Amino acid sequence: MKRHLISAADLTHDDALLILDTAEEMARVANRPIKKLPTLRGRTVVNLFFEDSTRTRISFEAAAKRLSADVINFSAKGSSVSKGESLKDTALTLEAMGADAVVIRHHASGAPHRLATSGWIKGSVVNAGDGTHEHPTQALLDAFTMRRHLAGAPDGGPTYHQGPGDGTGRDLAGRRITIVGDVLHSRVARSNVHLLGTLGAHVTLVAPPTLLPIGVESWPCEVSYDLDSVLAKSDAVMMLRVQSERMNAAFFPTEREYARRYGLDAARMAVLPEHAIVMHPGPMNRGMEITAEVADSGRCTAVEQVGNGVSVRMAVLYLLLGGNEPAITTENRTEETK
């Protein structure tokens, strides 16, 4: 593993499989009575969040604690940042306190890369979302979820009705993934396009022309403006939230019009192949990009994705900070079976 995780584009096929396979090992810990490993005992992980977050912050905190690391949660609100402190001075403060890893979410695209390459801190940097740029661990947990449903079924084929299986050692070669919605402002979409392509999947972006970024034709994916035309051949459909807080113009006529053209309802879900799953990185705008009926259906993996996120982030922290020995030793396995 590299020293930092800044972009999904930095991961090779082998890197991605190593993380996903390690996450499968970590997922087994969640089924044990005591959900902890001593792997990162004595290490300090700082969650440095300059933007609001629920799932990602709590997920990283749970991951670090399950690996026995010491966790420091930093929120820009109520800190010296609100008094004008720069990212550099904040980083130098964390370095002085002995941070081994910094998990950073920032409203400015490129902030994690700056932190990783500046020399301000010696520890590892993990990008937990920077502006509209990337969110690599979200893409990893999405791929982990897809792999369990689409590549990890017991008979080796897509079997939604049998539930998720163990995807160890498999990629997503030949699977068709459709990502729908506000691609322009979505760091999740960017990371998923890179990672899913690396894992061999065929990705199609579906959005109004106004919600697609300039230069999207150079991305390793296809683009469509018609959701109905791609549903029947999709193995997974990922619905993206419309990020109104990042919009400073009218990107579509009305919310009702957007939902009619690009929202996933029960009728559209019925067109999907039987094995296909519906995904959402959260938080959801129910009634806009996804109806409550679809969100609460057995085919929607949104809650499962949250659980898988802890396993994937445990794997990332372990590989960046530990990584030289198996995550779960023979001793651990013996205890697990007792």
Residue 261 annotated as part of some ligand binding site: no
How many Cβ atoms sit within 10 Å of the Cβ of residue 75?
A: 16
Residue 260 annotated as part of some ligand binding site: no
Residue 241 annotated as part of some ligand binding site: yes
Contact by Cβ (8 Å): 144, 312: yes
Residue 55 annotated as part of some ligand binding site: yes
Residue 283 annotated as part of some ligand binding site: yes
Q: How far is Cα 123 from Cα 98, in angstroms, rounded to an integer?
A: 8
Residue 3 annotated as part of some ligand binding site: no
Residue 78 annotated as part of some ligand binding site: no
Residue 83 annotated as part of some ligand binding site: yes
Residue in this structure with the two tokens 């010696």, named with its chain if needed: 122
Q: How far is Cα 257 from Cα 251, in angstroms, rounded to an integer?
A: 11
DSSP 203-243: EEEE--GGGS-TTGGGSSSEEES-SHHHHTT-SEEEEPP--
3-state secondary structure of 48: strand
How many Cβ atoms sit within 10 Å of the Cβ of residue 181?
A: 30
Structure tokens at 206: 């579906």
Residue in this structure with the two tokens 């026995």, named with its chain if needed: 68
Residue 138 annotated as part of some ligand binding site: yes
- Reported in sequence order, the residue ranges of 228-289 that DSSP labels E, i.e. its strands, are 236-239, 277-279
How many Cβ atoms sit within 10 Å of the Cβ of residue 246?
A: 13
Residue 286 annotated as part of some ligand binding site: no
Binding-site annotation, residues for L-aspartate: 83, 187, 241
Binding-site members are: 55-56, 83, 105, 135, 138, 187, 241, 282-283
Binding residue ranges for carbamoyl phosphate: 55-56, 105, 135, 138, 282-283
